[in-house]
A and B are shown apart, each in its own frame.
Chain A
Amino acid sequence: MTPSVNDEELARTTPLDQFDVSRPELYLREGLHPYFKRLRDEDPVHYCKQSAYGPYWSVTRFEDCVAIDTNHKVFSSDASVGSFVLDDATLNPVVENGLFLPNFLGMDPPRHDIHRKVVSPAVAPENLERIEPLIRQRSQKVLDSLSIGETFNWVERVSIELTTMMLATLLDFNFEERRNLTRWSDVVTASPGDGVIESWEQREKELRQCEATFQKMFAERKAAPPKSDLISMMAHSPEMADITPEEFLGTVVLLIVGGNDTTRNSMSGSAMAAHLYPAEFEKVRSNQALIPSAVSETIRWQTPIAHMRRTALCDYEFRGKQIRKGDKVVMWYLSANRDERVIANPMAFIADRKNPRHHMSFGFGIHRCVGNRLAEMQVRVLWEEFFKRFSKIEVVGEVTRIPSCLIHGYTSIPVRLSK
């Protein structure tokens, strides 16, 4: 972190045509909000001519993000025309003969609908009721392992541990090797020099191990009678009978990242919010009927996925700007969730906010997060069990963040708990 950087000042004085809100250092120092605010106010559909990812449009207002997200006939997610994240390298081959990771988030209808509906029942309310006791048990165990007064990294001990266990359960992945899931999840969205991987070749190598592991699981589950885990569901699904090995890996990767980095950072965001807004935390502790509302507010306030991207399938005029066929269009969920036009006092964490569910974090339209209720349940159970054991959480050291314009979250939050 460079303490001399004043983002408020820079956001005010930098000419708009030099704005590039995708720069990782902005996320590393959580300096992006003043830039987003200026874009929302002065140039809500903004063209960035040059970035590490090439030129792209930034859509920063809430209603505009909803408009793009729900217009999938013009703004495509399909991997064949681009990607659903700004960086093409995340899902498309970077090294020669490298991995391509197609999945239903990167598909348009009708194939999208067919694949999505195969996995959707696993995270439907009926199934969630069934797995909630297990999630509660694990959350209890993890929280019971934390000592009062000890300083520890909340991200590592709580957020990563709980989300990884959940994912291992949904996939029926070897429980002892579950940290491989965490690693692969990090590797997918990594780029060289970000502290996760050193080179594209290293990323490729690790993802090949992921592929081999899941191909083996797929073959085993296919040969065995159907079970309720996601891999078995896919292996036995008639709708996915023609799934290619690449699509299978792409879908697995989507489930790993979608079920891991996201909820992980909502759990980490919970600790940050509790520390930064002690009065709000206290409000929830003394009236636990507010927990569901506080959970939605945490997911809004944190916005674990900072953006989703689409690619224009044709020339299209949007809010007076001429978008060209093939242009990358980025919906900045992180900015939409801070849009004063829709959300009152948006920078603040307000546990009993009116309409807490009305946020952008899950996206809208046909690609809306399929695991949204699972995520909410995991975070809700964490808060419920936390309050049974502790009354306060304090951040007691330097917080480190992920230098990514996609995953908006933390690598380290040193905390201390009080009884």
Chain B
Amino acid sequence: MPKIKYITHDGKEYDVDAHEGASVMEAATSSNVPGIDGDCGGALACGTCHIYVDPAWFAKAGTPAQDAEQEMLSLLDNRQDNSRLSCQISMSAELDGLVVRLPRGQH
């Protein structure tokens, strides 16, 4: 099972074993990691699973694949270059050890 490390805005770390194919959003919400809401359930429709991909992982997971994700991200106040919607990152062996940081809140 590929591992994900979530780091909250105030520095708390949560390590989660994700199912292969699960999204970074689902892995967080099913393990009660605080700070990812995922209101729309992964439909790319709300922007409440916003995360920052750690610079070391940027090449593998930092770039939105779809225009629709870009569009939702562009409406966020706290968007950065490494912003992603975590429902759109699907976990695989290749992403084992992924580190993501969480914003202060989702809205």
Contacts and interface: CB of A to CB of B under 8 A. Distances in A.
A110 to B, nearest CB: 9
A109 B48 CA distance: 20
Contacts of B44: 70
Contacts of B37: 357
Interface string A71-113: 0000000000000000000000000000000000000010001
Contacts of A128: 105
A366 B71 contact: yes
A368 interface: yes
A391 interface: no
A355 interface: yes
**B interface: dominant SS:** loop
Contacts of A66: 40, 43, 45
Given A116-B75, A364-B46, A368-B45, A125 B105 contact: yes
Contact of B45 (A69, A113, A357): A69
A109 B104 CA distance: 27
B36 to A, nearest CB: 11
Interface string A117-131: 100110111101000
Contacts of B107: 123-125, 370, 372-373
A124 B68 CA distance: 22
Most-contacted residue by chain B among A69, A70, A362, A373 (CB, 10 A): A70
Interface residues of A, number: 25
B47 A125 contact: no
- Residue of B43, B47, B77, B107 most packed against chain A (CB within 10 A): B107
Contact of A125 (B40, B74, B106): B106
Interface string A351-373: 00001011000101110101011
Nearest to A71: B68
Contact of B68 (A70, A109, A120, A368): A70
A36 to B, nearest CB: 21
Nearest to A357: B39
A121 B77 contact: yes
B17 to A, nearest CB: 22
B41 interface: yes
B78 interface: yes
Contact of A364 (B43, B74, B78): B43
B45 A120 contact: no
Interface in B26-44: 37-41, 43-44
A113 B68 contact: no
Contact of A368 (B46, B77, B78, B103): B46
A144 B103 CA distance: 36
A123 B47 CA distance: 15
B101 to A, nearest CB: 15
A368 B38 contact: no
B22 interface: no
Given A117-B77, A364-B45, A366-B75, 9 more contacts: A70-B45, A113-B74, A113-B75, A121-B77, A357-B48, A358-B41, A364-B40, A368-B45, A368-B47
Interface of B: 37-41, 43-48, 68, 71-72, 74-75, 77-78, 103-107
7 contacts: A123-B107, A124-B105, A124-B107, A126-B105, A358-B39, A358-B41, A366-B72
The 8 closest A-B CB pairs, nearest first, are A125-B105, A364-B45, A373-B107, A357-B39, A70-B45, A124-B77, A121-B77, A358-B41
